[in-house]
């Protein structure tokens, strides 16, 4: 059957089927309409397969070889073939330790990712997020989500730093990778990563992935003859975009105009960068005694703490203890958290978290509580300390 | 409800201006009965005076009255505008082909500007002879022409937790449909001679992201193209000029732009864009990987929040697009009452494998509220599921591959809104 014949037949069939709605049948180029889905499912022959058939009939292209191109030189392959695999294939010789990694990271990476991989603004969070993959807001980091260390090495080496790709030496990439492992609590501070011990390191979520199973699981369920008439009793609107109103507007900054609390329900962009939009829980529990502007400031400062600490609804212990109710409480008093012995002893002696003690601790954690497990070096300014303290107070009312 | 309706300021303006135009139309009609339509009775300047000469626009651009037809971005989605995304204005288009300048953009390290004279394509790894091709070499291989859709895996990804963006440009605009001219990848791989243990390829971009994805050899030898033309002209810079990979029916991230290298290997590489990203996190905390195929999907482009009904009751054209990564679209159903009754839409234009299809449903609008949905059937028998059906399998954290049925609520004024319904 010729293509044109089939198209005309389709046109007639289509006219018969949508008689009621049809207004204009000037368009002759109509594909065949099915009488029911089952028939079409059984007869998948489409105009396109006929195109292909026609193309084949008029002669497929030659298959070669054509003798085109030239042989790639070993030094050319070496220059471009930089990919690394989970089994270590492709890794160059080299080494780097956590200490050196911190130096490179602070200089080259922290501007976007934060000093502790906590992510600045919407830039990716690199640390923490353990046990959050079933949460409402999963935090997918190199520690909590990435399956293979080779992926970290490969990506840092091929595409980072953003805007100056492939500028790091192999040893620097080893060092940054070691530092990321350390910040995620996966290796000690004296760890050195090299091509020799690389394959010994496994990431916690390696087994968290499996092959696409839509074909077995979903396709049978979604391959069916659907209802066409009297399919439900009534229709109610259950959710509306207008409630959130995060649609960009060309003349009005919609989000700013309609209030800051849109952040609570924003879903993730395709690379997950927007997934971090945090719930503005501070306001829920705030009382007039608090300086709300300072609380807001403190929430921003707290991003530096979030890699290890949670606060607010549902907060639980991570690398560090959850911080609900910390202000006004003895040191080392959160239940089920293993503090350093110094921290616990100070608490037992009656030392309480006040604005003063918190300020002293946050300025230089290791000198105020000797032996604290907190690796954070401290906040730079009194303003930051005051703000984050106010923020913690908002969860301690 | 209109006072609380904030979701569609652009369309609201459009609606108001549309209403004003309609009002003017009524006035004009009344006047026409008295003295005739001035658009007809008065001599127009474009009729009296000469128009532009032939070389005013050596590369032609759309009419100045079409300047609102453009890609748009959603700033809050990404950290910066370089590793970012914008969206195709589906509601402004018809037919099945996306014009080159309106094809959505997604870059991971910005759009690279590459001199084709300095561009090389290398094939290495598990091959008999590693090869380097110049663009001139590539132009000497046999070519094919195919129309394929390219959909970002994250298209509609902002809607997993519920209705969020008002406009099909934003909810469904990470897609375009283009005719590619390119070389079957099979021919290039054969030229280098794939060794028997070569089961995977790793295409790599020349851009600042050096984008990589692992693709199974079976697909590489089946229908992948190394393309250098789109809709008859050279690839646009932002679409990978001078050469990109085409991976029909599979998620857009795999269609590596600015293609500089293809490595053949015996295992997948598990690179960043197939582990950290583009894996689908399910409710149990486990993630699917290698979710390559794009499930069948459709959306009504008109009316929609950016394209309200401004003409009042009477004859109305509903139209939209449908596509499947597994074949053709033999049938689309539409409903105007939220799924109580469904009607088969009319598909017009070529029905091509792994290409977008255009459908229409013409009806008499009675001026009452409409709950519009479309439902695609593909040539495998798969029927587009509802969003809730998808959530039952996947939860709401998977970001990617949201092909659920979209609902637009159209009120008595013709304003459309993105909603979910019972």
Distance CA(B193)–CA(B333), nearest Å, equals 47
**SS3 of B155, please?**
coil
Distance CA(B7)–CA(A392), nearest Å, equals 35
Closest to A177 (Cα-Cα) out of A88, A97, A85: A97
CA angle A199, A200, A204 (to 5 degrees): 100
Q: Which residues contact A215 (CB under 8 A, 6 or more apart)?
A: none
β-bridge pairing B287-289 and A209-211: parallel
Q: Is residue B313 part of a domain?
A: yes
**SS3 of A39, please?**
helix
Instruction: Look at A63 and B190 and tell me if their CB atoms are within 8 Å.
Output: yes
Which stretches of chain B score pLDDT less than 70? 1-33
Q: Which residues contact A203 (CB under 8 A, 6 or more apart)?
A: A142, A143, A146, A147, A148, A149, A186
pLDDT for the residue numbered B83: 87
Instruction: Look at B350 and A21 and tell me if their CB atoms are within 8 Å.
Output: no
Which of B271, B288, B305 is at the close of a domain? B288
pLDDT for the residue numbered A153: 98
- Residue from B254, B346, B354, B359 to probe the interface with A (highest A Cβ count within 10 Å): B346
Is B315 in the same domain as B254? no
Distance CA(A274)–CA(B60), nearest Å, equals 38
Q: Is residue B159 part of a domain?
A: yes
Which of B262, B288, B314 is at the close of a domain? B288
Instruction: Look at A46 and B328 and tell me if their CB atoms are within 8 Å.
Output: yes
**Around Cβ B19, how many Cβ atoms within 10 Å?**
15
A282-393, what's its fold?
Cytochrome Bc1 Complex; Chain D, domain 2 (1.10.760)
Is B197 in the same domain as B302? no
pLDDT for the residue numbered B13: 39
Instruction: Look at B75 and A248 and tell me if their CB atoms are within 8 Å.
Output: yes
Instruction: Look at A155 and B271 and tell me if their CB atoms are within 8 Å.
Output: yes
Distance CA(A117)–CA(B148), nearest Å, equals 40
Share of chain B above pLDDT 70, in %: 92
- Residue from A8, A9, A11, A21 to probe the interface with B (highest B Cβ count within 10 Å): A21
What residues in A contact B216, CB-CB < 8 Å?
none
Is B323 in the same domain as B273? no
Asked whether A32 and B330 are in contact (CB, 8 A), the reply is: yes
Nearest-Cα residue of chain A relative to residue B352 = A48
Closest to B319 (Cα-Cα) out of B351, B370, B357: B357
CATH code at A81-208: 1.10.760.10
Which stretches of chain A score pLDDT less than 70? 1-59, 244-245, 250-289, 307-308, 318-319, 375, 397
Asked whether A284 and A276 are in contact (CB, 8 A), the reply is: no
Instruction: Look at A274 and B76 and tell me if their CB atoms are within 8 Å.
Output: yes
Nearest-Cα residue of chain A relative to residue B73 = A248
Is B332 in the same domain as B356? yes
pLDDT for the residue numbered B283: 95
**Around Cβ A232, how many Cβ atoms within 10 Å?**
13
Nearest to A66 among B141, B261, B347 (CB): B141
ipTM over 0.85: yes
pLDDT for the residue numbered B23: 43
pLDDT for the residue numbered A371: 74
Q: Which residues contact B58 (CB under 8 A, 6 or more apart)?
A: none
Q: Is residue B157 part of a domain?
A: yes
Q: Is residue B216 part of a domain?
A: yes
pLDDT for the residue numbered A307: 59
Element (H, E) at B281: strand B280-281
Asked whether B20 and B14 are in contact (CB, 8 A), the reply is: no
Biggest CA–CA distance in chain B, Å, is 83
Cβ-Cβ contacts under 8 Å between A and B: the total is: 407
Nearest-Cα residue of chain B relative to residue A90 = B269
Which of B234, B268, B288 is at the close of a domain? B288
- How many structural domains is chain B composed of? 2
Phi (first) and psi of residue B222, to 5 degrees: -85, -80
Q: Is residue B342 part of a domain?
A: yes
Is B314 in the same domain as B182? no
Q: Which residues contact B179 (CB under 8 A, 6 or more apart)?
A: B97, B145, B146, B147, B230, B231, B232
What residues in A contact B174, CB-CB < 8 Å?
270
Distance CA(B190)–CA(A384), nearest Å, equals 62
Closest to B140 (Cα-Cα) out of B201, B96, B188: B188
Domain that includes residue B372, residue range: 297-419
Helices (H), B280-413: 387-394
Half-sphere CA count of A58, side-chain side, radius 13 A: 5
With tokens 């795999």, the residue in question is B254
Given phi > 0 = left and psi -120 to 50 = alpha, else beta, which region is A344?
alpha
- Residue from B190, B212, B281 to probe the interface with A (highest A Cβ count within 10 Å): B281
**Around Cβ B381, how many Cβ atoms within 10 Å?**
21
Distance CA(A348)–CA(A342), nearest Å, equals 10
Nearest-Cα residue of chain B relative to residue A167 = B208
Half-sphere CA count of B301, side-chain side, radius 13 A: 24
With tokens 């202000």, the residue in question is A327
CATH code, domain carrying B307: 2.60.40.650
Asked whether A361 and A346 are in contact (CB, 8 A), the reply is: no
With tokens 């070669």, the residue in question is A64
**SS3 of A79, please?**
helix
Is B277 in the same domain as B301? no
Q: Is residue B28 part of a domain?
A: no
Is B234 in the same domain as B378? no
The length of chain B is 422
Nearest to A62 among B142, B305, B422 (CB): B142
Is B100 in the same domain as B180? yes
β-bridge mates for residue B215, sequence order: B201
Asked whether B196 and B188 are in contact (CB, 8 A), the reply is: no
Is B201 in the same domain as B301? no
CA angle A168, A169, A173 (to 5 degrees): 75
Is B330 in the same domain as B247? no
Given phi > 0 = left and psi -120 to 50 = alpha, else beta, which region is B339?
left
Q: Is residue B239 part of a domain?
A: yes
Instruction: Look at A270 and B275 and tell me if their CB atoms are within 8 Å.
Output: no
Is B375 in the same domain as B269? no
Closest to B311 (Cα-Cα) out of B59, B50, B23: B23
Whole-Å CA distances, A156 to A105, A165, A369: 11, 8, 36
Q: Is residue B78 part of a domain?
A: no
Query: Where are the domain boundaries for CATH 1.10.760.10 in chain A?
Result: 81-208, 282-393
Is B106 in the same domain as B151? yes
């Amino acid at each position: 059957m010729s293509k044109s014949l089939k198209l005309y037949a389709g046109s007639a069939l289509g006219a018969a089927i949508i008689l009621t709605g049809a207004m204009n049948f000037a368009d002759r180029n109509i594909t065949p309409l099915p009488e029911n889905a089952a028939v079409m499912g059984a007869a998948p022959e489409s105009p396109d397969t006929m195109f292909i058939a026609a193309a084949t009939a008029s002669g497929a292209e030659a298959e070669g070889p054509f003798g085109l191109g030239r042989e790639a030189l070993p030094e050319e392959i070496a220059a471009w073939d930089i990919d690394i695999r989970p089994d270590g294939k492709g890794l160059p010789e080299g080494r780097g330790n956590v200490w050196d990694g911190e130096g490179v990271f602070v200089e080259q990476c922290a501007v976007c990712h934060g000093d502790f991989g906590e992510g600045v603004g919407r830039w990716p969070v690199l640390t923490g997020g353990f046990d959050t993959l079933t949460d409402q807001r999963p935090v997918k980091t190199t520690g909590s989500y990435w399956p293979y260390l080779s992926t970290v090495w490969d990506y840092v080496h091929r595409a980072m730093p953003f805007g100056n790709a492939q500028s790091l030496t192999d040893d620097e990439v080893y060092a940054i990778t070691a530092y990321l492992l350390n910040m995620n609590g996966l290796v000690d501070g004296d760890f050195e990563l090299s091509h020799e011990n690389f394959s010994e390191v496994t990431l916690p979520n390696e087994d968290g992935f499996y092959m696409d199973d839509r074909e077995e699981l979903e396709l049978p369920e979604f391959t069916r003859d659907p209802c066409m008439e009297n399919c439900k009793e009534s229709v109610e609107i259950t959710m509306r975009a207008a409630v959130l109103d995060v649609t960009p507007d060309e003349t009005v900054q919609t989000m700013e105009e309609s209030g800051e609390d849109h952040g609570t329900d924003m879903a993730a962009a395709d690379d997950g960068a927007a997934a971090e939009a945090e719930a503005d829980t501070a306001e829920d529990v705030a009382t007039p005694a608090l300086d709300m502007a300072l609380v807001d400031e403190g929430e921003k400062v707290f991003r530096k703490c979030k890699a290890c600490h949670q606060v607010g609804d549902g907060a639980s212990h991570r690398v560090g203890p959850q911080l609900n109710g910390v202000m006004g409480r003895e040191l080392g008093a959160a239940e089920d958290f293993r503090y350093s012995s110094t921290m616990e002893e100070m608490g037992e002696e009656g030392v309480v978290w006040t604005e003063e003690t918190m300020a002293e601790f946050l300025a230089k954690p290791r000198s105020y509580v000797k032996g604290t497990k907190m690796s954070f070096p401290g906040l730079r300014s009194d303003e930051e300390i005051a703000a984050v303290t106010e923020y913690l107070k908002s969860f301690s009312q | 409800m209109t006072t609380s309706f904030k979701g569609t300021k652009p369309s609201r303006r459009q609606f108001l201006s549309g209403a004003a135009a309609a009002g003017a139309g009524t006035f004009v009609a009344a006047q026409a009965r008295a003295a005739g339509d001035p658009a007809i009775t008065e001599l127009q300047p474009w009729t009296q005076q000469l128009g532009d000469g032939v070389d005013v626009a050596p590369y032609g651009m759309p009419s100045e009255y079409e300047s609102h037809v453009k890609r748009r971005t959603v700033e809050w989605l990404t950290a910066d505008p370089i590793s970012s995304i914008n969206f195709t204005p589906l509601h402004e288009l018809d037919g099945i082909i996306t014009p080159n300048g309106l094809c959505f953009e997604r870059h991971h390290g910005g759009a690279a500007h590459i001199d084709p004279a300095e561009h090389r394509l290398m094939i290495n790894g598990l091959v008999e002879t590693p090869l380097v091709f110049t663009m001139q070499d590539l132009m000497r291989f046999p070519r094919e022409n195919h129309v394929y859709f390219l959909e970002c895996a994250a298209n509609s990804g902002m809607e997993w937790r519920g209705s969020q963006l008002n406009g099909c440009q934003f909810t469904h605009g990470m897609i375009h449909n283009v005719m590619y001219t390119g070389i079957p990848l099979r021919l290039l791989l054969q030229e280098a001679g794939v060794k028997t243990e070569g089961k995977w390829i790793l295409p790599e971009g020349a851009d600042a992201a050096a984008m990589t994805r692992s693709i199974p050899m079976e697909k590489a030898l089946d229908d992948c193209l190394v393309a250098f033309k789109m809709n008859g002209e050279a690839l646009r810079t932002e679409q990978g000029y001078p050469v990109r990979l085409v991976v029909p029916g599979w998620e857009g991230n795999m269609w590596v732009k600015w293609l500089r290298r293809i490595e053949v290997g015996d295992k997948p590489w598990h690179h960043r864009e197939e582990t950290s990203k583009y894996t689908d996190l399910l409710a149990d905390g486990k993630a699917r990987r290698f979710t390559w195929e794009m499930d069948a999907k459709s959306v009504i482009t008109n009316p929609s929040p950016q394209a309200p009904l401004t003409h009042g009751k009477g004859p109305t054209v509903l139209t939209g697009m449908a596509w499947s990564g597994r074949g053709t679209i033999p049938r689309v159903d539409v409903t105007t009452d939220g799924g109580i009754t469904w009607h088969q839409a009319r598909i017009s234009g070529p029905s091509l494998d792994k290409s977008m299809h255009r459908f229409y449903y013409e009806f008499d609008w009675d001026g009452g509220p409409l709950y519009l949905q479309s439902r695609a059937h593909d040539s495998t028998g798969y029927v587009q599921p509802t969003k809730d059906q998808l959530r039952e399998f996947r939860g709401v954290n998977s970001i990617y591959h949201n092909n659920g049925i979209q609902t637009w609520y159209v009120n008595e004024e013709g304003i459309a809104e993105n909603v979910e319904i019972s």
